[in-house]
Amino acid sequence: MRVFNSTIQAILDSQSIEFFFLIKLELHSATKYLTDISYDVVFDGQTYVGNSSLFEYDSPKFSSVVDREAYKIVLTDFINEFSTEMKNNMVGKNIEVRVGFYDSSGVPILNVANTMFVYKGTIDRPILQSSEDNKIAVIEGTSPMSDLDLVRSFMTSRQGMAQRSGVNSNGDPLDTSFDNMYDNKEIMVKWGKV
């Protein structure tokens, strides 16, 4: 169960919850700070641009099962800012998405401790969509389970071990961990009392 500080818990227990998003994109040219608040705000020492190119974003999701759901942000790109970044390969660049809350007076609470991470990861799949009416950049963050598809081969030989350890091609003469594996050697194991 997720535990919240007293300020966030009081807001979550209230009748009406109003929230905003703070998005940090670390790109090639610069780090972009975006918010869906209608004006610029300073959060954690950085100015997050309001009324920015932020068009759409995924809602916070909590799941009780392991899934491969990725996080998606949609940005307008009328000045080709994000298409240029996509051409420079933005895959692997960092994304941080936080949700913050408004107090009872409608003022955003901008204390770091009173915000929550919605997503923290890297850009996996940027897509540019253009039409006569608009031009948007869809940035998809990696799923936390994306590494489940990763395949790495491992050679069980002296030379394979040498490649992993960075020693010369013949391997470390003191390392005998794979000497008998490559030769398909059988051994007898005694079970029970000896």
User: Residue 102 has what DSSP assignment?
Assistant: B
Euclidean distance between CA atoms 69 and 52, whole angstroms: 26
Q: What is the pLDDT along the chain (194 residues), one digit of tens a residue?
A: 567 788 888 888 887 888 899 999 998 888 999 998 989 999 999 999 987 676 776 665 555 555 556 778 888 877 777 888 888 888 888 989 899 999 888 899 999 999 988 888 888 888 888 777 778 888 888 765 555 555 666 666 666 666 666 655 565 667 776 666 655 556 666 776 65
Euclidean distance between CA atoms 64 and 150, whole angstroms: 23
Euclidean distance between CA atoms 190 and 180, whole angstroms: 19
Euclidean distance between CA atoms 139 and 124, whole angstroms: 8
Nearest to 26 by CA among 117, 92, 83, 73: 92
Identify whether the C-beta of residue 142 lies closer than 8 Å to the C-beta of residue 126. Answer: no
Identify whether the C-beta of residue 134 lies closer than 8 Å to the C-beta of residue 53. Answer: no
How high is the pLDDT of residue 43? 95
User: What is the arrangement of strands in the sheet containing 71-76, beginning at the earlier edge strand?
Assistant: 31-35, 19-26, 94-101, 116-130, 135-141, 71-76, 54-57
Residue 140 Cα to chain centre, angstroms: 9
Bridge partners, 22 (sequence order): 35, 98
How high is the pLDDT of residue 194? 58
Nearest to 175 by CA among 154, 153, 160: 160
